[in-house]
Structure 1
Amino acid sequence: MRQCGLITDCRLDNAHAALTTGAMNIQEASALAGYNSPANFSTAFKRRFGVAPRSVLRTNRGG
Protein backbone atom coordinates (compact mmCIF):
# COMPACT_ATOMS: atom_id res chain seq x y z
CA MET A 1 0.00 0.00 0.00
CA ARG A 2 1.22 3.48 -0.78
CA GLN A 3 1.96 5.96 1.98
CA CYS A 4 -0.95 8.20 1.00
CA GLY A 5 -3.26 5.20 1.35
CA LEU A 6 -1.96 4.53 4.84
CA ILE A 7 -2.45 8.15 5.84
CA THR A 8 -5.97 8.19 4.42
CA ASP A 9 -6.83 4.98 6.27
CA CYS A 10 -5.44 6.41 9.51
CA ARG A 11 -7.50 9.59 9.10
CA LEU A 12 -10.61 7.59 8.32
CA ASP A 13 -9.98 5.41 11.37
CA ASN A 14 -9.80 8.56 13.52
CA ALA A 15 -13.02 9.87 12.00
CA HIS A 16 -14.71 6.50 12.60
CA ALA A 17 -13.66 6.62 16.26
CA ALA A 18 -15.00 10.18 16.60
CA LEU A 19 -18.34 9.17 15.09
CA THR A 20 -18.53 6.02 17.20
CA THR A 21 -18.02 7.94 20.43
CA GLY A 22 -20.37 10.71 19.34
CA ALA A 23 -17.62 13.30 19.73
CA MET A 24 -18.27 14.76 16.26
CA ASN A 25 -20.91 15.07 13.62
CA ILE A 26 -20.29 13.99 10.02
CA GLN A 27 -19.11 17.39 8.82
CA GLU A 28 -16.61 17.66 11.68
CA ALA A 29 -15.37 14.10 11.13
CA SER A 30 -15.04 14.88 7.43
CA ALA A 31 -12.78 17.84 8.20
CA LEU A 32 -10.79 15.75 10.69
CA ALA A 33 -10.11 13.21 7.94
CA GLY A 34 -8.97 15.97 5.58
CA TYR A 35 -12.00 16.11 3.29
CA ASN A 36 -13.49 19.41 2.15
CA SER A 37 -16.65 17.67 1.00
CA PRO A 38 -18.76 15.51 3.31
CA ALA A 39 -19.99 13.67 0.20
CA ASN A 40 -16.44 12.64 -0.75
CA PHE A 41 -15.78 11.70 2.86
CA SER A 42 -18.90 9.53 2.93
CA THR A 43 -17.81 7.72 -0.22
CA ALA A 44 -14.33 7.01 1.14
CA PHE A 45 -15.73 6.04 4.56
CA LYS A 46 -18.16 3.57 3.03
CA ARG A 47 -15.43 2.10 0.83
CA ARG A 48 -13.22 1.55 3.92
CA PHE A 49 -15.78 0.37 6.48
CA GLY A 50 -18.66 -0.97 4.37
CA VAL A 51 -21.20 1.34 6.02
CA ALA A 52 -22.08 4.99 5.63
CA PRO A 53 -20.91 7.38 8.34
CA ARG A 54 -24.53 8.28 9.01
CA SER A 55 -25.19 4.65 9.97
CA VAL A 56 -22.33 4.67 12.47
CA LEU A 57 -23.53 7.93 13.96
CA ARG A 58 -27.17 6.79 14.08
CA THR A 59 -26.25 3.46 15.69
CA ASN A 60 -24.20 5.26 18.33
CA ARG A 61 -26.99 7.71 19.12
CA GLY A 62 -29.56 4.97 19.33
CA GLY A 63 -31.52 6.17 16.32
Structure 2
Amino acid sequence: MKKQIETIVLENKTGQRLRIYKVENSNSFCIGLEDDSDHFEFEAGDAEEITNAIDVVVDSFA
Protein backbone atom coordinates (compact mmCIF):
# COMPACT_ATOMS: atom_id res chain seq x y z
CA MET A 1 0.00 0.00 0.00
CA LYS A 2 1.30 3.44 -0.91
CA LYS A 3 0.54 6.46 1.26
CA GLN A 4 0.44 9.88 -0.43
CA ILE A 5 0.38 13.10 1.55
CA GLU A 6 -0.94 16.09 -0.40
CA THR A 7 -0.16 18.83 2.16
CA ILE A 8 1.84 19.42 5.32
CA VAL A 9 1.51 22.60 7.40
CA LEU A 10 4.16 23.48 9.98
CA GLU A 11 3.48 26.15 12.60
CA ASN A 12 6.21 27.92 14.54
CA LYS A 13 6.03 29.42 18.04
CA THR A 14 4.86 32.80 16.70
CA GLY A 15 1.99 31.27 14.73
CA GLN A 16 3.46 31.50 11.23
CA ARG A 17 2.32 28.58 9.11
CA LEU A 18 4.55 27.07 6.42
CA ARG A 19 2.70 25.00 3.84
CA ILE A 20 4.33 22.34 1.63
CA TYR A 21 1.99 20.84 -0.94
CA LYS A 22 1.58 19.02 -4.25
CA VAL A 23 0.32 21.20 -7.09
CA GLU A 24 -2.90 19.75 -8.45
CA ASN A 25 -2.66 18.08 -11.88
CA SER A 26 1.11 18.50 -12.15
CA ASN A 27 4.41 16.96 -11.09
CA SER A 28 5.36 20.04 -9.09
CA PHE A 29 5.30 20.97 -5.43
CA CYS A 30 5.21 24.32 -3.64
CA ILE A 31 6.42 25.70 -0.34
CA GLY A 32 5.51 29.02 1.25
CA LEU A 33 3.75 30.83 4.03
CA GLU A 34 0.13 29.71 4.20
CA ASP A 35 -1.29 33.26 4.16
CA ASP A 36 0.91 34.44 1.25
CA SER A 37 0.14 33.94 -2.42
CA ASP A 38 3.84 33.76 -3.43
CA HIS A 39 5.13 30.22 -3.15
CA PHE A 40 8.35 28.58 -4.31
CA GLU A 41 7.62 25.86 -6.88
CA PHE A 42 9.90 22.86 -7.31
CA GLU A 43 9.99 19.31 -8.67
CA ALA A 44 10.47 16.14 -6.61
CA GLY A 45 14.07 15.83 -7.82
CA ASP A 46 14.87 19.24 -6.28
CA ALA A 47 13.67 18.36 -2.75
CA GLU A 48 16.97 16.90 -1.55
CA GLU A 49 18.94 19.92 -2.80
CA ILE A 50 16.52 22.26 -1.00
CA THR A 51 16.66 20.38 2.31
CA ASN A 52 20.46 20.11 2.06
CA ALA A 53 20.70 23.88 1.52
CA ILE A 54 18.55 24.50 4.60
CA ASP A 55 20.82 22.19 6.61
CA VAL A 56 23.95 24.01 5.42
CA VAL A 57 22.62 27.39 6.56
CA VAL A 58 21.25 26.12 9.89
CA ASP A 59 24.32 23.99 10.66
CA SER A 60 26.62 26.97 10.03
CA PHE A 61 25.13 28.60 13.13
CA ALA A 62 25.22 25.51 15.36
TM-score normalised by structure 1 residue count: 0.23
The structure with more strand, counted as a fraction of residues: 2
> Greater share of helix residues, 1 or 2?
1
TM-score normalized by the length of structure 2: 0.23
Answer 1 or 2: higher relative contact order, Cα 8 Å, separation at least 6. 1
> Quick check: which has more Rg, 1 or 2?
2
